[in-house]
Amino acid sequence: MDLQLITLAGVKLDEPVYEVMLPTTSGDISVFPGHEPLVAVAKSGVIAVRRNKQDSDAQLEYFAITGGVIEINPVRVRVLVDEAEHGDDIIEAESKAALDRAIALRDSATNQVELEKAHQLVDRHMVRLKVADLQRRHRR
């Protein structure tokens, strides 16, 4: 099946894959070729991609995504999100520093708008760190 990962900046990935694991508001799902049609809301989290049936878990690729929409049919998975980053593109030290700044913003928020924005930043950088860690551990 084909996986299309599309962000506001353009197409991040458009390639054949065997399996894709997706974070949805109803829980994580795995999609294989021939999946029943489905539309779901994606939540911020980790997308894991197995390119070939024989690939081991150590060969999974990871993407950090923000929320969006997922459209599934038997031959294609289309994920539309604001942002998506491949695990190899995330620099852990920078993400850790950004997370620390987001936590400081959250702790110093003076109104609901600032607090909500800070929570979104904290969530985003926590997901990025999780993806970077998964990518690093599986590449060893």
Q: CB neighbours of 40 closer than 8 A, spacing ≥ 6?
A: 22, 24, 25, 26, 29, 69, 70, 72
Q: What is the mean pLDDT of the chain?
A: 92
Give residue 85's Cα distance to chain centre: 7
- Region(s) of the chain under CATH 1.20.5: 90-139
Q: What is the CATH number of domain 2-87?
A: 2.60.15.10
- Tens digit of each residue's pLDDT (9 = 90 or more) over 19-53: 999 999 999 999 999 999 999 999 999 999 999 99
Report domain 90-139's class.
Answer: mainly alpha
Among 61, 62, 67, which residue's Cα sits nearest to residue 79? 67
